[in-house]
Structure 1
Amino acid sequence: MRIVRKFVTAQRVLRKQGFGEVLGLAKDNIANLYNRASYLFISFAERSNAKLAVRVHRKPAKPRILYITSEFEAFHSQTARYRIDNFKKALRGKAETVSVLIDYKTSFDNLIKWADIVVLMRVTWVPKVDEIIEAAKRYGTPVVFDIDDLIFLPRYVENYCRVLGDMSEENIKLRAKEFAGFEKTFKLCDYATASTPYIAEQMKKEGKKAFVIHNALNRRQLKIAERAKRAADGVRAIGYLSGTKTHDKDFEIVLPAITRIMDEYPGVRLNVAGYLDFDMLPEQVREKTRIAPYMRWTRLMKFGAQNYINIAPLDVENPFCHAKSELKYFEAAAVFVPTVASAVDTYKRCIENGVNGILATTTDEWYTALKKLLDDKDFYNTVSKNAHDSALEHYSPDANAAEALAAYNAIIMDFRGA
C-alpha cells in the first residue's frame, strides 16, 4: 500500500510540477531511507554486541561524537536535520560521528565507551536516559543536552501554549508534563548546547555550562541556491514561510503593513509556504495571495528564490520567539532575498539594521521597511548582497563545523580537567 501511495503521489506531482520535481522527490525518499538505515544499523550492531569501538577506524586527533535522539525527532521533525544530520555532514573528515535512536531496546555501552562525547538531542527523560548517564560516568564521557527552544524550562509553559494558540487548562497540564521530561534530562547532563545565544543564556542561569552551535546551511542547500531561478524582472512577491499552524498570531503582526503595501503597489503579491488561515486576510490581499502546501526542504529553497522580500514576524513579548533560530534569515539570504524581521533577540544579533536586513517592531516600521526595499533598487541590491555574504560567512557548513568542533573540544577538555 505504501508503494501505491508513493506512486499516486508521484503522478500528482508530475502533473502539477513536472518531472524535475518527481526526481527531487525520489532523491529525498532515497535520502530518507539512507538516514533511517544509518540509525537502525547502529542500533542493530549494538543489539548484536558488535565491538564498534574496535571496528571503527579513527585518528586520535579527531573527536568521536555520539548523537542520540528519539525516533520522532529523527524521522518526523526538522530539528534533527539541523542539529544532527547537518552537523554530521559538516564534520566529515574533522570528527567521527555516529547517530542512534534512544527508542530501541539496546545497550549503549559499547558506543559510549567508543565516544569522546555524547550528545542527547532533544531527548525527553525515559529510563534509558539514566542508563546512558550511568554508562558515561563509568567511562568518563561527558553527556551534553542539545536543544533548539525553551521546552526544558517549566516556567515558560504558558508562553509555549500561547505560541500554540491553546491556553486551555488541559493543554497547559499536558505541556507541563512534556516540559518536565526535558527538564529532567537537562539536569542530568553535564553540559548543554543550544541553537541560539538566548537559549544558552537561559541554560547558564540554571547553572549549566552551555555553548552555542547555530543552525546552518548544508552543502545541498548551497547547491540548490546556486541553481535556483529568481523571479522574472517586475515580479515582486513578499514571501512568508509559516512552517506550522501556530504562526497565524505571528502573521497578524505584519498584516496591516502588508495590506497597506498591496493597496499602494498593485503588482506586489504575497507568497506563503505552509499554513495560514486564508480567512484572516482582507479580500484585497486574498486576491493576490498564493498559499503553497507545506513542502520538503529542498523545494523550499527554490520557493524562497521566487520571492522579492522575505518576512519573519514574531511576537517580541514571548520568550519562545526570542529563542527562535535565524534559519529563515540565512536560508533566504542564500538565494539573495533580503529579510525584514521582528526585533527579537536572535534577529537583532544576526541582522545589522539597514545593512544585511531590516528589523521592525511597529506597523509603521514594517510598512517603511517594505516600502524602502520596493522603492530603492540600489538599497535592495546592497542589502541582498550583504545578507548573502553574511550567510555564507556565518552559516556555511565550514562555519558550522568550526563552531561545533570548538564547542565539543571545549567540553571534552573541560570535563577532563585539562
Structure 2
Amino acid sequence: MSPMRIAQVSGHYPPNFVSGGTLVPQRVALAAHRAGHESYVYAGYLDENRRPLETWDEDVEGVHVTWLVTTPWTAWDDERNWDNPEATAAFRTWLDRVRPQVVHFHSIQTLGVGLVEAAHNAGARVVLTMHDFWWFCSHQFLVNEDMRPTSLVADLGACDCETGGPALRERSARMRRALDAVDVVLAPSASAARVYAANGVDASILRVDENGLPDEQLATLTRTAALRPREAAGPLRLMYAGGAQAMKGFDVLVDACRRLEDVSELVLDAYGTHDAHVRSLPAWVRLEPAFAPEELPTVLAKHDFLVLPSVMRESHSILTREALAAGLGVVCTDTLGPEEAVEDGFNGLIIPAGNPEALANALRELASDPSNARSMTGRGSSSPIRTFSDQAAGILKLYEDLVDGPSAPSAQADSQAAVRDAQRSLLHRILFIVGISGAPLRYRVHLPAEALRIRGYNTDVRHYRDPELTEIAGKADAVVLYRVPATNQILELINSIKDSDRTVPILFDVDDLIFDPSLRGTLDNLDGLSDAEADLWWHGVERYRTTLENSDAYIGSTQVLCDRANELTGLPAYRFANGVGRILARASDAAVASPRTPGPPRIGYFSGTTTHDADWASIESTVTAVMERHQDVVLVLGGHIQPTTALQRFGDRVQRLPFLDWQELPRALRDTDICLAPLTGDSVFNESKSAIKWLEAALVETPTIASPTQPFREAIDDGRTGYLAKTPQEWERALETLLESPRVRARVGAHARREALLNYSPYLQAVVYENILIDVALAVREHGHRAHSGWKDVADDEPFSSVDARVDAYVAVPVPDAPPVSRTHRMLLKTQDLFQREGAVAVVKRAVRVIRRTVAKR
C-alpha cells in the first residue's frame, strides 16, 4: 500500500471532547499513522475563553491536528450548526495547504456540511461515517425536544421542532445536496444502514462498518467474563452509565425506580449522576460520579446487568457490547444498535424507549427471580463483537481502493450504466391517468407520484375523462394508466402516443385481479350481486383487460398479479408494492405520540369495500368463541361490514364505526389493540390483494393477524411483526397470545412499525419506480411499442368531460388542534417539572446553561 495523505474531520475530538463518536476518528487517525500514512485531523474545539474561528496546529502521537474554535454553534437550532460558511472558508485554506487524498468525515456539527463539498471540489475522495442521525434529524438522535422518539424516517414524522417547518425543509434540502459530494457512506451497524437508506441515502454508496473495540480492551473484558462467578447470591447489581442526560434515559430511569419502592433485591449504581439533585429515590439506587475509561473493566466486573434506557436512537452502542463482552446481561431499549447485540430473554431484556412503566416492569421481573436473571449473564453478545484492528484494516483498504481505484468494471457493465443514466435524463414529466378514486388511487398513483417528485420528476395526475389529456400526454415522457377502463377516447390517445416520434412508454397499473375474465364464477365476494350487476362488473373487467393489452408493460402491487398479467398477455410485468406516504405516515406518527384510549382490549376488523362479508364470515365463529372466554373484549367493526345475528348476544361489546376518511383512520387503528385481516379460501383473487391492512395498522403500532396469502407472508414475520393464521386453531392461538400479553402486543406493534417505515419509505419506493420507468422506456426505445395482440378490444364511448374528471386531492386535511403552547409557556412547564424532580439547584444550573448559549449565539 502506497503512503497516502489521509484526513479525519470531526466536529469534536479528544481530549477536548470525548465520546464514542469522537474516539472513532481518533483511533482511525492513529491507525493510519501507524500504517505509514500521513495522518491529519481537522476538528472543532469548544472553549468559551477562545475567540470563534481561532485556529492552531498540534502534533499528537504522530498525527497532525488542526483545531478550529466552534463554541458558539453547538445549539441544534443554530443554522451554522449545520451550514457554517466561515468554517468552510477556513477549511478550504487548510485543504490548499495539506491537499489530502482522502477526507473522512465523522460527526461535523458546528463545522457544517459545506466542508464535505469543499473536500470534493478539492479533488479528494470523500468518506462519511454517519455516527448518528444528524443528517436527517436536527436533534441528531431522532427524538424531539420533549424527549419522545420520533419516526425512523424523519420526513414521515410529526415532530414539531422549534425551528418550524420552512427552516427544517431548508436544512433537509441543504443536507441532501451535500451528500451528492460523498463517495462512500459508512454506517456503524446494519440497523443504522437501513435507517439511512430509508431516509434517502443512496444504497449504492452505503456500506456497513461496525465499530470495533480496541483489541486489548476486548481481551481484558473477555478475561473479566471468564472470572465472573457462576453462582452468586444477594441482590442483583445493576449499573447505569449515561450521566444525568435526558437522551440517555436518566429521567426515565428515575421515574421507573420510583415505581419500585417495595423492591429489595436490586442495587443500582448510576454513574455520572452524583451531582444530580434527584428527590425520593429508593434506598437501593446510588448516584455515583463518572468513572475514568481505564476503570471500565473493574466497574463492569462489579455488576450483573447494564441498564441502558436510552431515548435517543443508538446507531451502534459500544457500551452495550463492552458490557456483554464482560459477561453482564443488558436491559436496553428498542433503539436499534443495542438490539443487534441483545436478544430479549437470552442475554437481556428489550423494552420500548421512553417508557418508565415498561422499564419498571423489566426491573421488577429481574428482582422477582434473581436466579433466572443471572442465567442471562455470561452469554456474551448475540452478534460477533468486532475488534478495532479489523475495522481499521477495512477502512484503510477502503481508502486505498478509493485513491487507486478498484478493479475496473467490464466495458459492458459501464456501457449499460451509461445508457440507463442517459435514459433517466430523458424522463422529466410523468403523467398518471386514473380511473378510480379512494384508497387505491392514493396507494397506486399519489404515493408513487409523491416519491418520484423527491427524485426531481414532474408528475401530473389526471382523470381519464379530463379534456386536457391529449395536450398533457403530448408533453409527457412516460404515461401510466391506473385502473383505466378502455374507452374509444383512451384507445385513440394511446395510439397517438405510439404514433409520435418521441419514445414515450405506456404502462398499465391495477392492484386487483380485475383483468382476467376467465375467473367468472369463482369469486365468493361477488355472490351478493344481481345478474345485471354481475354482467356489468365483468364487462368492466374486459375493458380493463383491453387497456392492459394496449400498453407496453404492467405494474402490479403483488407478485401474483404480476405473474398472472405476464401469463395472460405476455407483457413484461413489474412489481411495485404499496408503500408509505407522507400524509398518512405523519398522521400515524401523531397518533402514536398519544396513548391508546383507556378501556378494555379491542379487536378491530375494518372493511374497505362492500365485498368483505365472506372474509369476515370465515373467522366470525373463532372471534365469538374468544369473546365468550374474555368477557371484557370489545369487537370494533369498521367500514361497510354489518354486524351479523351471531354478534347480537354481545350487545354493546360490538361497536360500529362508519367508513372513515383515510386521514382519520390512524387514530381509530391506534385505539384498536388487535387488527384482523382475513381473506377467504385459496382464491387467486384474494392471493393477489396487497397487505395494506397490515401496513396501515403497523404505522400506529397495532399488531395484525392475517390470512397467509403471499403478500401477507412477505409483509409479516410471523410472531415478530404480526401473526399469520389459516385454520380456526391458528386464529384462536394468535388472538389468545395477543390478548393475554400487553407486552407482546407492544413488541409486535413496534416491530411492525419499524419494518413498514424501513421497507416502504418514499425514498426507497422512488428508486423502485424510477427503475421500472427506465426499464420500460429502454425496451420501447429498442423494440418499439407493444404490437396489438389477439385480444378483441372491448371499449365504451365516454367523451371527455370536465364535469366528470374529478381526481381526489392528495393533501393533508387540517385537524383541530389544542390551542398552541407558546415557547415561554413550554419552558415554564419544563422548569416546573425539573424543580419537582431535582430541586432548585438543578433549575439554576439549567438557567446558567441557557444564558450562556444565548450570549454565545449573539
TM-score by length of 2: 0.40
Shift of 1:173: 2.4
Partner of 1:141: 504
Partner of 1:252: 617
Partner of 1:128: 489
Closer/same/farther in 2, CA of residues 145 and 100 from structure 1, 3 Å limit: same
Check conservation: 2:552, 2:776, Cα contact below 8 A. Answer: no
Partner of 1:347: 712
Partner of 2:554: 192
Check conservation: 1:334, 1:388, Cα contact below 8 A. Answer: yes
Partner of 1:407: 772
Instruction: For 2:433 and 2:520, locate their aligned partners in 1 and report how far apart those are by CA, in whole Å.
Output: 25
Partner of 2:589: 226
Q: Identify the match of residue 577 of structure 2 among 184, 201, 214.
A: 214
Closer/same/farther in 2, CA of residues 184 and 255 from structure 1, 3 Å limit: same
SS class of match (1:100): strand
Instruction: For 1:382 and 1:61, locate their aligned partners in 2 and report how far apart those are by CA, in whole Å.
Output: 46
User: What letter is aligned with 2:446?
Assistant: D
Instruction: For 2:610 and 2:572, locate their aligned partners in 1 and report how far apart those are by CA, in whole Å.
Output: 34
Any gaps of 5 or more consecutive residues in structure 1? 1-58
SS class of match (1:92): helix
Q: Which moved more, 1:151-160 or 1:124-133?
A: 151-160
Check conservation: 1:150, 1:156, Cα contact below 8 A. Answer: no
- Structure 1 residue 372 corresponds to structure 2 residue 737: yes
Instruction: For 1:235 and 1:398, locate their aligned partners in 2 and report how far apart those are by CA, in whole Å.
Output: 38
User: What letter is aligned with 1:330?
Assistant: L
Q: Which has the higher helix share?
A: 1
Shift of 1:417: 2.8
Check conservation: 2:637, 2:643, Cα contact below 8 A. Answer: no
Shift of 1:209: 0.3
Check conservation: 1:230, 1:307, Cα contact below 8 A. Answer: no
Shift of 1:61: 6.0
Q: Identify the match of residue 671 of structure 2 among 297, 302, 306.
A: 306
Closer/same/farther in 2, CA of residues 222 and 116 from structure 1, 3 Å limit: same
Instruction: For 2:646 and 2:755, locate their aligned partners in 1 and report how far apart those are by CA, in whole Å.
Output: 34
Closer/same/farther in 2, CA of residues 417 and 97 from structure 1, 3 Å limit: same
SS class of match (2:746): helix
User: What letter is aligned with 1:212?
Assistant: R
Q: Deviations over 1:203-243 (max 9, x none)?
A: 11121101111222211111111111342456310111112
- Structure 1 residue 239 corresponds to structure 2 residue 604: yes
Q: Deviations over 1:285-318 (max 9, x none)?
A: 3430111111100111110000001110111322
Closer/same/farther in 2, CA of residues 64 and 106 from structure 1, 3 Å limit: closer
Instruction: For 1:196 and 1:270, locate their aligned partners in 2 and report how far apart those are by CA, in whole Å.
Output: 30
Any gaps of 5 or more consecutive residues in structure 2? 1-423, 784-858
Partner of 2:642: 277
Instruction: For 1:375 and 1:122, locate their aligned partners in 2 and report how far apart those are by CA, in whole Å.
Output: 43
Partner of 2:521: 158
Q: CA RMSD in A?
A: 2.0
TM-score by length of 1: 0.80
Partner of 1:56: none
SS class of match (1:270): strand
Q: Identify the match of residue 315 of structure 1 among 674, 677, 680.
A: 680
Q: Identify the match of residue 91 of structure 1 among 442, 448, 452.
A: 452
SS class of match (1:287): helix
Partner of 2:41: none
Q: Which moved more, 1:95-104 or 1:178-187?
A: 95-104
The 5 A counterparts of 1:43-122 are 60=425, 63-70=428-435, 73=436, 76-94=437-455, 95-106=457-468, 108=470, 110-122=471-483
The 5 A counterparts of 1:37-48 are none
Q: Identify the match of residue 173 of structure 1 among 499, 523, 535.
A: 535
Shift of 1:127: 0.8
SS class of match (1:281): helix
Instruction: For 2:582 and 2:466, locate their aligned partners in 1 and report how far apart those are by CA, in whole Å.
Output: 31
Check conservation: 2:706, 2:712, Cα contact below 8 A. Answer: yes
Identical-pair percentage:
28
Check conservation: 1:200, 1:211, Cα contact below 8 A. Answer: yes
Of structures 1 and 2, the one scoring higher in RCO (CA 8 A, sep 6+) is 1
Shift of 1:319: 1.7
Instruction: For 1:417 and 1:358, locate their aligned partners in 2 and report how far apart those are by CA, in whole Å.
Output: 46
SS class of match (2:604): strand
Instruction: For 2:472 and 2:465, locate their aligned partners in 1 and report how far apart those are by CA, in whole Å.
Output: 15
Instruction: For 1:278 and 1:241, locate their aligned partners in 2 and report how far apart those are by CA, in whole Å.
Output: 12
- Higher Cα radius of gyration: 2
Partner of 1:203: 565
Check conservation: 1:278, 1:286, Cα contact below 8 A. Answer: no
How many residues in Structure 1 have an aligned counterpart in Structure 2? 354
Q: Which moved more, 1:76-85 or 1:246-255?
A: 76-85
Instruction: For 1:217 and 1:93, locate their aligned partners in 2 and report how far apart those are by CA, in whole Å.
Output: 14
Partner of 1:290: 655
